[in-house]
Amino acid sequence: MVATKKVKIETFGCQMNKSDSEKILGLLSNIGYSSTEFPEDADLILINTCSIREHAVQRLIGHLGNFKRMKQFNPNLIIGVGGCVPQHEKENIRKKAPFVDIVFGSQNFNKIHEMVQRFEDNRRPIEEIVKQADVYENDMPLVRDGKFNAWITIMNGCSRYCTFCIVPYVRGNEVSRTQESIIREVEDAVAAGYKEVTLLGQIIDLYGRDLKPRATLDDLLYKVSAVKGVERIRFLTSHPKYMSKSMVDAVAELPNACEYFHLPLQSGNDQILES
């Protein structure tokens, strides 16, 4: 489809959000949108939010103020807010920013193209939040933003519910992606010229425990390493409690696995983790 409309996607937060935004752009490209860096050129503005830090809603509303003025000058402008903040603050978003047209969560961004089309048809506000995606949707279209590194999400969510962390409440419980789908995406990334892939998961060491048959991160690393053209493999985030010797051995043995572990500092305090 020839792109005739422009979308500006602003992404806050982690690498997972960046990966989600690439998929959002891929879905929108299928209905005639292309990316623009300039909000003033956009027909659609989407903010992919992060709620890991305090006062996320206040920061979001403050940021939306810039787009409110743009909408006053261009009533046809569509404004959407998605990601983690709407998962637990959807009422506050439309209450404090009633000019927002579409509100969606981190669990159903795969339907954003349908929501945009519905809004274009009837111009009625849309607010759709899904609490838990039971199955990971594989093989979604995407438009990558980076030039050298390809973000590849292999699982979503976390089932640990640590005292200090909101992630399980906004990302849902752990849901792993099939190895076959992951390898297809790695192969597609290499075919597009990418030499480095970064595998993403909230606690990536737990990858595959929910799959049938069960899979492991170290087994996946060997399979990704075998894809011709992959020169560097990274993965994050790991947790010391769930790291295995076989996973560490895989990193040591594989020539294209970067000798690097991304670990959370919070895990050093047993009292907080156990409370």
Q: Contact 241/270 with Cβ under 8 angstroms? A: no
- Give the per-residue pLDDT at 67: 94
Res. 259: pLDDT tops 60:
yes
* pTM higher than 0.75: yes
For residue 199, the cross-strand partners are 152, 235
For 226-246, how does the pLDDT look when each residue is reduced to its tens digit (9 = 90+)?
A: 999 999 999 999 998 899 999
Return the closest-CA partner of residue 82 out of 10, 19, 136.
Answer: 10
Domain annotation for the chain: domains and CATH numbers: 5-128 (3.40.50.12160), 149-271 (3.30.750.210)
Q: Contact 207/154 with Cβ under 8 angstroms? A: yes
